[in-house]
Structure formats: structure tokens, C-alpha cells
Structure 1
């Protein structure tokens, strides 16, 4: 027994509860989580019988040869003795190894016997053969999550080991070990040798744990199950069809059921199976010895084929590279280059593209166009134009189909290269029809929105078109839709609707345009245009205070996207949902989204701009102003370099909010945003920021702003709209610095009574205090919460978890 072992408090509470109720308890978790040690510690001063299903696996009936028989005249199941201490305690360990029908029947017969308290221990969640009895009898369950040591418990364990450590080191160990007792103990032993927690020690311990799993755990599994898992270990997650293709085994379904019962190393969620990283390492190590590198390369190739068949280009490339199939790698790079940046994986695959020899790229018009697009996305305009010129030379040197392919790629780049902006787009559009229709050229796959919920601020910036939106919709609209074909269906109506929305146009006209745009795309158009139409409808409803309608619209579209497998839209749909949560001050949803947000500190990718701008708002909401400003400066650089007018206005506005809250010079950015928005007669870009912008208007002063802004009528309406949005969503991007310790019991009591709708006089009577005292605490509560009224205070307090 490890006397320095720290039992997780959650697990102990459940054991005590089961003991008190004399209720069967099932404890499960992967290797190393201290299941057996927990029970030993708890029963250290009690008599109990211990059985392990690991012993005598060849003769499982011998495990239960000394199993206590039912006492003569014992009561019916569920009858209890007078005291819990009179019951016999039986512990059955390694239940996942029990295959004997006789042994299983013995356990099932014992459950519910009044004279026995049964503790079952296994590695997997509730096995199927126990499920019916579990439902009938109602076991208590200690899960793997319950067995994880918390930060405090790890620190206590280190103290018992008389180790010197910092809070940061204890937190690091907790994060790296995920509370696994075996790994924590191994870490402590290494620290006694003078080593400190860090990446090097983590790697050393992980390798040792993998060795332990390979030598002690894998050998317990049936040979056919182990062989299957070694084959599939070339990937970390898979579906049943993929497992069949990779392994070539027709019994995959049965094997996976057995694997799930063998231990908590394999999970299944929505048909996707996942192997734990530590198990993957052990399986691959053993597979290398058993199968050899050539055979494992074959399994990796099978996995690559599966990914390729399902258009999962990035993992397919990884597999083909792993098994040394260079010709397949090049084929996939060409295939990816045929896709537009919204559907392709240019950024993720940049390493492969940039490693290609120039002579290889020059052999393919598709690859040259792909390189031009990739460099543009990487903000390297000169290199992008270099490959564009190479493609032009290729057109001059070739004939027939190759020339038409190259020419179509040139036309595509003329329209789509991000760094060129949209200033010359009208002239380009006028030239394109003669190329497409007279020379028999087809435009390659095209993206107008880059998967953003916007047409005016999608693939390129078209703010300057907004000034003549109605005229252009009539004169150029048909031409654009003709040139783009199915990629442009619904585009003109969606763009006009967005332009009118930004300029505060008639709500019903806007809604009509967006609805018709959506219907046009549903025929044979592109779902990305439909997303732009739906996204604008969501914004329209939010602006008018119809939040539930906005959520329902977005939720329905989300379901449609998943059904039609347009998965490239999901990240920005999630970002739009996060923006709705910000209006409601929904901290949990915002924090959850932030866990999946792209990391701009690691790398900045222009295709993530919508999510970056969402992340800036999340930073502001959390009070992380330096992080917000740092990301804004990257976005500012991108906006200037790629002529993104709308994003520049947005960056200036958000930057003003951040700088004002940090006490810096903010008016210059604010005025820049206002003047440029006024130039295009845009309202919603500003007014949608509601309470966050209202504070800037108040600080700057109306008279000062009227002197700076020439269009007084536009400014007056902007103030009115911003105020209305601020009233509808009072906690949007509010500074919420208060926490529970900031409030005394009296202040909290007043907040709770305000939430019930009581007035100051009613509260003073209820709490037996003067009205002046209630008013004082109320004022302090408002100050701490950063609000100015009762409704906002109650909402802010609830969002912070204070109420």
C-alpha cells in the first residue's frame, strides 16, 4: 500500500455514500488512475475479501472458489442488515478480464444481497453484461473523471513526499498528467532524483508509460484484438468503415465492442472511435516489432486511400508521406490546388507546396496557379505575381487543352487573387465573357465569400460598390452572375440586401432580397452564398431585438450545413453563434468557443479573419485588452495590405474601444472609423456595437463629434441606432471585473432581492435597514458591475455567476 497516496475527494465521497446505502459500486478508469489503491485505502481498517479476475485466467471458475455462499435464510435482494458494518465486503478487481459466464453469473447473483457490499473495479465503462442489473439495482459509479487528481491533491502528494515545488510546477504536472496517479507518482520519483517538471521530464515519463503499457497491459489482450488495434494504430481516430479498409478484417464491429470492454483506452462518439495517445504509442511500438516497417506502411497507405476517397486531403497527405508514396503526395497537391481557398487547404499544406522543386511546379498550370494563390494568402505579393507571370508564359508556350486549362487559371487569378483587391473588378468582369464563351474556357471552382457570412466583405472588399448599389445590381448584376455561373447564384440579391442593411435601408426590402437570394442558392447555387444571406438575416433580427429568431435561423442553417456536408462553413457559423452569445453576455458559451478559436500568436492566416475579429470581441469581453490590441494590429496590417476597407473600419472601431478602456489615446481611431463609415453612409458597422460604442460617444461628446463629422443627419441617426442597440443588449462587451469576493453578504442580499423585483423601500423593510443604506450598496454594486441600472445589474451578476 502506498501510504502517501492521496485519494481523490470526489471518489471518496461516492464510496462513503455507497457504503452508507450498502449499494453496489462500480469503479472504472484507464491504467494508472489508482482504482485499486483507492479501495485499499478506504478499506484499510476493515475486513474484506479481494478477488482479481487477472488470476487464473485459464481457469476462471477458480477465482470464485472461495466466494461466500448466500446465508441460510437470507432475505430477499435489497434487504439490508440492521447496520452497514455487519455486511461482508467483497472487492472484485480487473472486471474487464472476466470472460467466464459462470463468474459473471456469480456476480450478478450477489448484487442486491443484503449481507454483501460489493465493490467492482474495471478499466472500461459499464460492461454490457452488467447493464441490465445496473439499471434495475442502481449502482453508484466512480468514473475516471472522479479518479483524476486535482491540482490541490497533486500539491498535497508532493508535500507528503517532501518535495520542493512551485505552484506553477504543480499546475504544469496536473495539466500534463491529467491527474493520472501513476504518472504523478512517476513524476515525484524523478523529482526526488533532482529533475524538475518540464517538457523533457514529461517526454521521459510518457515514454516510460508507453513501455509499461506495452509490456504489462497489451499482453493481457486476446491476440486477434491486439493485432487489429496494432494495424489501426496508424491513425488516432477512425470510423468503422475506415477500420475495415485499413485492417482488412471483416470482424471489425465485434473487435471494437471487445476493445471498448477491454479498457478505457478507446472511446466512441457519433460513430468516431478515438485511441488514447499513450495507447497509440504503445501499439505502434509493438507493431513495429511484430509487423515491421513495410507492413505498417501498407496500413498507412490504406488509411491514406480512405481519407482521399472522403476528400480529407490533409490527413491523406500525412499518410502518403508517412508510407513514402511521393507520387500520391503530388497528385493530392494538384487536387487541392484545383479548389478555391475556402474549400482547399492551402495554408495547412504550405509545407508540402513550398518544398516542391520549381521545375515540378512548372509542369502543371494548376500548381502554378495554386502557388500564386498560396503566396497571396501568405501576404507575399511579389512571389504571388512571380508565379502568375510564370503561368502567363506557360499559356504562350502550350496549345490545346493544356492552354485552355492555363488560361482558365489566369482568368481565375485575375478575379480571385486577394492582394489585388477589387478596384479593377468591373473591367475584369467585362473582359471575361469573351474569354469564357468564345474560347470555350470554363472558370474553375470559385468562392465569392471565402465562407464568411458576407458578400460585401467576403472574398474581397466591395464597399466602394455600395455607393451605386442599385445601379450596379441592374447593370452589372447579370454580367457577374453569367460569368460566375452557379458560383454566383443569388449573389446580386444578397449583395444588394447587405449594402442596404449597412446603410439602414428598409427592413422589409432587405428581408425580401435576402430571402430570395437564399431561395436562388437552394436550387443549384452555392451554400456559401446562402450563408451570407442567412448571416445577414441573423444580423437583421439581432439589430431589431429578435434574438431568439436569430438563433433559430442560425440553428436551422447549421443543421442543413451538416446534412449537406458543407463542413467548411462550420467554423464561421460557430463564430457567429459566439457573437450572439456576446450580446447576451453568455460567458460560458464565449469561453467554450475560445477553446476552438484559431491561435493568432502561433500563426496568422488571412482566411481566418472573421474568426479573428470575433476573437477580438471575446478578448474585450474578458478584459484581455493587450491581447485584443495585438490581434487588431495584425488585422490592421492585413487590411491595409489587401485594401480591405470594411475590415479597416472595424479594426479602427474596436481599437478605439480597447484603447479607451486602457486609458490610451483612442479618439483618432474612433474618428477614422466614423469618417470612413460616414463616407459610405454605413450605420450598422458602428451601431451594432451598441453599449461598447455608446460609451465612446459619451466620452467624446456630441458637440466635438458634430464638428468633426460633416453629415449631421447621418450622425444623429447613428447616435439613435447605437442607443437603441445598447438598450436591447446592455451587457454587450461590458467590462465585467467584479467577482464574488468583491461583494459583502449585505450587497449580495440586495442584489438577490432586486432580482426578485423588490424596490428600495421593500428591500429596506425585508432586511431591516435604512433606505439610504440600501441605496448606498446598490450604487456600489452598479459600480463594481460596470452598469447603470437594476436590470443590467441583475443580468451582469447572473452572467458572472454571482446570482
Structure 2
């Protein structure tokens, strides 16, 4: 066992204890966490002469003085001072200081402390007459905890050992308590690692030995800071309501068990101590001081514009009035940023009656469910909003707010109304704008063609009545959208012309829209105009010129605050790159940016998913592409996006053809043709070039000879000739579909290593390994390791055996 103790528990401090030491004198003030036992094991193994002195007893320093006096420069003596914070007798501390100063030069002194060093000894630390060994050097790591438990015939997984270490802090005494509870539970680790009795015992011990002996002000500050596991000095100042928190934090840092300064000015509580403070607060009847501290902190974050942190502070202690104020401020903005999604948990924590009676909150619940592709929940909350409007008895001001939310929902939430019924809400919204309402300037205009950007409305109805809608809606849209209306009409006509394969007219409208947007439009409409121009040029076979339309645009977005568009610009460029052949890095980049089917689907990511589908089809990943196509197709049906329905049917036909299912591919294509014929859309097929051309040519003779299908086939053939490498990869899934990191992880799975072992071998976190494995499963269409290895061998991704 002694060898185990040396190898497992004392990797860090052994070099301090082993340097030419002939004798060890161990002075301890009180038995406690298990350090004494660990040192005793080591000393017995090393066979050093050692002496034990309990300084809490009426011990004189005579024996120590005698041992020290006998030492010569050749014979080092190590004096270990353990837990001296428990010595309250100033006279004994003075005697100790005198002995240290009078000791031979060969003697070295180390203080082992989990809490602050007694103030009389601190000057000796500064003069380096006394070394300090802190908690991080003494406690066991995960592997050591696992081995320690195994000595009592308790077998644990790596994850169970890690959780037990978090509860125990890695100290033998705390582990002994947990071992007793495990044995009382039948000898197996407790599911979920709750260890309620052990936690209570350890928390009480911490309170008695470390926390309660501290001064009242220090205890109060620790409880306030302990509301957050990680914080900086500005947060500390707000929580403690002081101008300069650093002296207090420095005092706390001397208490090694509590706090760590992991970066200059940034602090972290160990999980064990963080949960200790949480337990103390729950049992404390003075909750008002924590409420006020969180109110101060919430206001501090609100002033800094860190709204999620502000809401976390407010909601931690039920400060709903302040929280709802911040919540409504964020939700009044366009839902075009990640922070909008982060409002959902706070909406759910808000008292239900507050949400149901507030039109903005009620509408926002509908919008967030819509963005997260939860159609039933979206309609449920919008119905509650309509019920508010029908309820009656509202003041004129309240009724106006409800009407604004209702109209906003009709325009902005696709699954509420199809585009066939959107004209009246647009006119009503414009009328409200003219009456002085400013809410609607939050709309994000992203153009009509769904392939260009996420968030845009379907435009099939526009194409049927373009001139009529322009006449009636141009001015209302200007009222409704303000600056964002600049260029929008020409973009609409340009996209209509593009889909009808009237490329000359498309390019004229695109150029006009681009000039208008440059002269006074917004960045998002400017992007759409650039993208429309680029697509027209691509259809003309001018890919190099098309790529130049986006040159320098990314830098401009950063300079002018348009970072939210950067991802879509990159996705657009990836789509262009596929025309020149498979792009090995495209799928990995898209997944790193959140376009990952193993995660929740957000409707505003649909453009990224459509490009990812094409990237998969171009690289041979047909089995993985098909469920994605079905996902976007179902979304398009639910949200009444007719264009996306046609687009996904075309992609499905390509995918099924590549899978050898020509009958099913023809059925999907014929459905798409039936829909597109009604609108005269040609480019929805033609832009897929060599991917869809074989399916078009396999249509029944009667269908192939229709005028519309002839136009589609001819335009598609031209595109295939312009870009022969687009969809050029045929056959089975290959190694290129897995990223380099995923291939490495798959190789480690093949060796039989566990997730934890793979993480340690690759020096990455366990969460990263699990993410790679989930992506591998999705890509291979499997559910476990065995299936993944069988499928990977069959596809040639890894060698057989």
C-alpha cells in the first residue's frame, strides 16, 4: 500500500519531502482531513526517523530544541507544521517562531495548511524561512480517488470517481465518510452520486473546523461571494458593496480551501466549497442580504449590457419585477441574435400569469417556439394572445399594445399565417406606424428567396401578383420597414426573374437594388442584393466574377456592426465553392458553427442546413443527407414555405437517385415539377446541375416533352456543362465525410478504449469526445459503438479488423 501511496497521492509534493532529508519532525495541531495519515504512510515507506508532536496538548519545545540542536549542516531535518490555524495560543506561536529562527541552517520548515496561516508566522513566509504547501498539492486526483476506493473493494467508473472527488475534495477523511455510506448502501456507488449523509457530515465539519472560526465580516463576504462559482473583482465589489474588494479577497485567498485566483482579477471556488456555501444559504434565515446583493449585481450587468447575466442575478432570488424589465427590453429587439434564444429559460421561470397577461411576453413565447421549430407550442401561445385581444375591458393603451403584438405575430411568425394572408397585417402594421408606433422597425428584412438567407419569407405568392403587390405594398412597406425597405422591391422582382430564368432582367434589378442599398439601405438587404447579383452571374457561368461580389464585405460587416451576418456570408461562399467540386472542410466548418443535426434545430439556421445537405450530397454522404432533407421538408410544410417544399423535393430526388432508388426519386421530382409549373420556376431545378439532370432525363416521355420540363432540362444541362464537378462524386460514403478529429476518435473506439481514456490520450475534455462520438453516430446512421465499427469497416472508413 505504501508504494501506492507514493505513486498515487503524493506526485506533486514528494520532491519537497525527499531532498536530502534525514529526519522528519511532524508537528500537528489537530487530526482532520487525512494529511497526517498520508505523511505517516510515506515516512514509513521511506524509513526516515520521524517524530510526532501534538501542539494542542501541553507540549514544551524541549524535545524539538534538543533534536534541532543535534543537527549538523550535513544532516537535514524537515519540520512539517500541519494545521497551525488551530493554534490560538499566541505564546506558543511566539515560541515556535523563536525555535525556527534559532534552528540550524540545515533545518527546513514547511507549513501544510488548508486555511490561512497564523498572522505571526506570515513574515517568515515572506522571508522564505517557511515554505507553504497548499491544498491543491495535497488532495488526491481522480485516479487516486479511484485507487483509494478500490482498497475497500469499491469499484467505480471514471465518471463516478470524478464526482466523488468533487464531493470529497480528494481528502482521505472525507473519502472515508463516503466509503461508509457506500457500504451502508450495499457496497456499490450511489446512483447519481448524491451521498446526502456524507455531504451533510462534511458540510458540518467544514463549518466547525474552518468556516465558523472566521470573523463575522469575513463569513458574510464569503457567503455573498459564494453565490457564484466564478467571478471577477468588479462582481466582488458589487456583491460585497465595497469600493476595493482586493484586500478582502487576498485575506480569503489565504484560506486555501475556499478560493483560487485562476487569472489576475478572476476567482474560482472549488465545487466542494461552492456547494457548501449553497447549503449554508439555504439554511440561513437572513435571505434579504442575498436578495439585495443580487439586485445590485443584476443592475450592474444590466448597465454593462450583459443581459443574460443580469437576468441570472435577478431570477436567482425571484426579483421578477427587475427581471421582466430586462426581459422585455431584449425581447423588443429583432430575434436575429443568439441572445434572443437565451431568453427562453427566463420566460419559463417567469410566473405564468405575468407572461400570459403581457402581450410582448406572450408573443415572444410564440416567436421563440417558432424559431425552435415547435409548431404546436407556437400556435398555442399565439392563440393565448388572440384570446387577450378578444377578452375586452382593456384600456386604449393596453389594447394598442395587444394589437401590435397580434399584427407583429401575423407578419413575423410563418406558421401563424401563410403568405396568402399576410397582406392585410402588412397594411395594418403600416397604419400603426403612421399613428406613432415604433415597434415594427425591429423587423429583419432578408430578401424573398429562401436560399439566400435564413429568416426570409416565402415569396411564391409575390410571384403571382408582383405588379399588383408592388402598387399596394410599396408605400406601406416603406412605413413599416423604414430604412430596411430600401432596395426590397427590386430584390423581389430580381428574384422572381431569376427563378423564371430571365437572367438579364434579374441582373438589372440586382444592380439597381445594390446601388440603392449602398446609398442608404441596411447591411442585410445589401447582402441579399449582392447574393442575388452573384447568383445571376453564376447562372451565366461567371463564377470568378460572382465571387468578387463578396470581396471585402466581411471586413465591412465587422467595421459597421454587422457581425450577425458573417456566418451567412460564409455559408453562401461555401455554397459557391461546391460548384468547383467537393469541399472537404465545408461540413466540419458548418458543424463547428452549429449546423449540426445532433443539436437542436433552429429555423433561422435552415439556409446553413440546405448548404450542408448539398455538401453531403457532393461528398457522397447520401445516407446522412436524407434525414436532413426530410427535416427541412417537414419544416417547410409546417411553416407554409412553398419554395422550400419544392427545393427539398429536388434535393430528395438527387439523394434517392444516388442511393439507387430511381422510382422514389422520380416521384419526388414529379411532385416538385407540378408545384413549380404553377409559378414558372426553372432555376430551383437548374441550379442543381448534374445532381438532378439524370433524374430529369429519366422522366416518362410524356412529361419530358412538356414545354416547361423542356425549359427546365435545358437550363439544367447548361448549368451542368458550366460546373461539371458540382455533384460529381458518386458512390459510397468515404473517409472525407468524417473530420480528422472524428477519424482519430473512431480509431480509438476501434482499440476498445473508454471515452475517458480517449479524452486523456488526446488531451481533450470528456465532453469533446462525446460530441465527436455523437457526430460519428449521426453520420454513420448508427446508435452504438459496435454498429459504428461494423458500418465504418463496411464503408472502408477503417481497416477490417
Name the TM tier (shorter chain): 0.5 to 0.7
Structure 1 position 643 matched with structure 2 position 640:
yes
Q: Secondary structure at the match of 2:420?
A: coil
Q: Could you tell me how far apart the structure 2 residues matched to 1:417 and 1:55 are?
A: 66
Out of 456, 461, 464, which is 2:457 matched to? 461
- Equivalent residue, structure 2, for 1:231: 224
Q: Determine helix, strand or coil for the equivalent of 1:423.
A: helix
| Structure 1: distance between partners of 2:233 and 2:152 | 46
Contact 1:578 1:593 in 2 (8 A): no
The whole-number CA distance in structure 2 between the counterparts of 1:365 and 1:743 is 55
Residues 450 and 497 from structure 1, CA distance in 2 versus in 1: closer, same or farther, beyond 3 angstroms?
closer
Q: Give the structure 2 partner of residue 102 of structure 1.
A: 123
CA distance in structure 2 between the partners assigned to 1:548 and 1:225 by the alignment: 63
Q: How far did residue 416 of structure 1 move?
A: 1.6
Q: Does 1:298 align with 2:319?
A: no
**Aligned counterparts of 1:36 and 1:554: Cα–Cα separation in 2:** 66
Distance in 1 separating the partners of 2:476 and 2:218: 61
Q: Secondary structure at the match of 2:698?
A: helix
How far is 1:425 from its partner? 3.6
Q: Identify the residue that residue 45 of structure 1 maps to in structure 2.
A: 46
Instruction: Describe how 1:621-700 pairs up with structure 2 within 5 A.
Output: 635-645=632-642, 648=645, 667=665, 671=669, 680-682=681-683
Q: Spell out, residue by residue over 1:291-349, the C-alpha distance to the aligned partner (whole angstroms, 9 max, x if none).
A: 62233333233334444545555665565555455554665565565444446466334
- Equivalent residue runs for 1:13-412 within 5 Å: 44-45=45-46, 47=48, 49-52=78-81, 54-55=83-84, 62=96, 65-66=99-100, 93-94=112-113, 97-98=116-117, 100=121, 102-107=123-128, 121-123=133-135, 148-149=141-142, 159-164=150-155, 169-174=157-162, 177=165, 181-182=170-171, 189-193=180-184, 194-197=186-189, 199-202=191-194, 204=196, 210-211=203-204, 213-218=206-211, 224-259=217-252, 262-263=255-256, 265-266=259-260, 275-287=269-281, 292-310=286-304, 316=310, 319-320=313-314, 322-325=316-319, 327-328=321-322, 331=325, 335=329, 338-342=332-336, 344=340, 347-352=344-349, 355-356=352-353, 361-362=356-357, 365-366=359-360, 369-370=363-364, 373=367, 378-380=374-376, 382-384=379-381, 386-390=383-387, 392-393=389-390, 401-412=397-408
Residue by residue over 1:509-565, the C-alpha shift from the partner in whole angstroms, topping out at 9 and shown as x without a partner, is: 9997897688568x8x5x76678789999999999699999999798578669xx6x
Contact 2:584 2:737 in 1 (8 A): no
Q: Distance in 1 between matches of 2:138 and 2:549?
A: 39
2:482 aligned to which of 463, 485, 494: 485
> What is the distance in 2 between the residues matched to 1:636 and 1:175?
43
Structure 1 pair 585–385 and aligned structure 2 pair: CA distance change class (3 A): closer
Give how far 1:379 is off. Answer: 1.7
Is the alpha carbon distance of 1:71 and 1:177 closer, same or farther for their aligned partners in structure 2, counting shifts above 3 Å?
closer
* CA distance, structure 2, for counterparts of residue 712 and residue 474 of structure 1: 31
SS at match of 1:461: coil
Select the structure of larger CA radius of gyration. 2
Q: Which structure 2 segments of 5+ residues have no match?
A: 22-31, 49-76, 752-791
Partner SS state of residue 348, structure 1 = helix
CA contact (8 A) 1:502 1:683 kept: yes
Q: Provide the rounded CA distance (Å) in 2 between the counterparts of 1:273 and 1:551.
A: 44
- Residue 484 of structure 1: how far off its partner (Å): 0.9
- 1:433 CA drift (Å): 3.6
Give the length in aligned residue pairs. 674
Specify whether residues 470 and 198 from structure 1 end up closer, same or farther in structure 2 by C-alpha distance, changes over 3 A only.
Answer: farther
| Secondary structure of 2:440's aligned partner | coil
**TM-score (norm. length: structure 1):** 0.61
Which residue in the other structure is 2:779 paired with?
A: none
Contact 1:231 1:246 in 2 (8 A): yes
Q: Tell me which moved more, 380-389 or 178-187.
A: 178-187
**How far 1:247 sits from its partner (Å)?**
2.5
Answer yes or no: is the 8 Å Cα contact 2:447–2:492 preserved in 1.
no
Q: Post-superposition shift, 1:287?
A: 4.3
User: Does the C-alpha gap of structure 1 residues 408 and 287 become closer, same or farther in structure 2, counting only changes over 3 Å?
Assistant: closer
Structure 1 residues not aligned, in runs of 5+: 23-30, 73-87, 111-118, 125-141, 688-692, 745-782, 788-795
CA–CA distance in 2 between the matches of 1:588 and 1:71?
62
CA separation of 1:244 and 1:174: change in aligned 2, threshold 3 A: closer
Query: How far 1:712 moved relative to its partner?
Result: 1.9
The change in CA–CA distance for 1:550 and 1:484 in structure 2 (over 3 A counts) is closer
Give the corresponding residue for 2:717: 716
Specify the SS of the correspondent of 1:49: strand
CA deviation after TM superposition for structure 1 residue 642, in Å:
1.0
Alignment TM-score, normalising by the size of structure 2: 0.61
Residues 382 and 288 (structure 1), Cα distance of their counterparts in 2 relative to 1, 3 Å cut: closer
Cα deviation digits, residues 572-607 of structure 1 (max 9, x gap): 89999999999544898778667x979757xx7656
Q: CA deviation at 1:282?
A: 1.5
Give the direction of change, closer, same or farther, for the CA distance of 1:302–1:450 in structure 2 (3 Å limit): farther
Query: Which SS does the other structure have where 1:458 is aligned?
Result: coil
Structure 1 residues 703 and 547, CA gap change in structure 2 (3 angstroms): closer
Mapping of 1:509-658 within 5 angstroms? 525=522, 583-585=583-585, 606=603, 635-645=632-642, 648=645
| Cα deviation digits, residues 31-65 of structure 1 (max 9, x gap) | 99999959975994275725347425776773694
Residues 625 and 249 (structure 1 numbering): CA distance in 2 closer, same or farther, change over 3 Å? farther
